[in-house]
Structure 1
Amino acid sequence: MEFPEVSVRLDKWLWAARFYKSRTIASNAIEMGRVQVNGDRAKPARAIRVGDRLLIVREQEKTELFVRAVSETRRSAPLAKLLYEETPESLLNKQTLAERRRFYSEPSHEIAGRPTKRNRRALQNLRGYDG
């Protein structure tokens, strides 16, 4: 597959590489400073070229990559992966975050809801409430 473009807008490239679902979402992320090009903050219209280094921050995940090809068209995920090469540090970081998420249990999932009348009385007795 050939990618004939020399440079392309940052928001279009992020959309084509499938980092964001739409160009609007990509533009908003860029404006909020969640995307850096070669260590600097960028604007959505910034021209991206082969060899540029990008840092993309999404929620807790930081993705650092090098641009290997530029394209304005969105293609399938396997073809989109040809547009960039992720750094080994970034891949390792993603792997450790995935392991943490796998073993993490949300504390709020253990709460069943409001206490029953019996549970409320037990709590009041525990706290020493005489009401």
Structure 2
Amino acid sequence: MPEVTRARVDAWTWSVRLFPTRSAAGAACRAGHVRVNGERAKPATQVVPGDEVHVRGGARERVVIVQRLIVKRVGADVAVACYLDRSPAVPPKEHVAVAGQRDRGAGRPTKRDRRLIERLRGH
């Protein structure tokens, strides 16, 4: 198999298992959740070894440095060897505050309760 010198960012992030599907990787690029070297990346943006890729998904941000280019999806152990993970540590579950949980059977929140819940959630 010939050595790849450039790869599309959507194909590369999917192949190293940062996204479950290639269409999800493309959608994240179009939505602005993927950055290459600090710049917003379109799905067809080319990556080369040494590029820094920021991927924001869910409540977690991943920061990876491209080590090796692949365009076919591979096993997890091979995929990990294709990038250097510089992601910030995930906060422990007990430090994440639960906002706006109500007691079971308390009924619908009143307008005042709803506003207090939204304020707690940061809306």
Q: Which has the larger radius of gyration?
A: 1
How much does 1:109 deviate? 5.8
Corresponding letter in the other structure for 1:94: A
What is the TM-score normalised by the length of structure 2? Answer: 0.76
CA distance change for structure 1 residues 73 and 105 in 2, over 3 Å: closer, same or farther? same
Equivalent residue for 1:42? 41
Distance 2:57 2:2 in 1: 26
Distance 1:3 1:106 in 2: 51
Corresponding letter in the other structure for 2:62: T
Matched, 1:112 2:107: no
- SS in structure 1 at match of 2:89: helix
State, as a whole percentage, how many aligned pairs show the same letter.
Answer: 25
One of 79, 82, 89 as aligned partner of 1:94: 89
How much does 1:29 deviate? 0.3
Give 5+ residue unaligned stretches, structure 2.
Answer: 108-123
Report if the CA contact (8 A) 1:3-1:69 is conserved.
no
CA distance change for structure 1 residues 60 and 74 in 2, over 3 Å: closer, same or farther? same
Runs of at least 4 residues off by over 4 Å: 107-110
Matched pairs, number: 107
Deviations 1:9-50 (A, max 9, x none): 111101101011111100000011100001101110111111
How much does 1:105 deviate? 6.3
Is the helix fraction higher in 1 or 2? 1
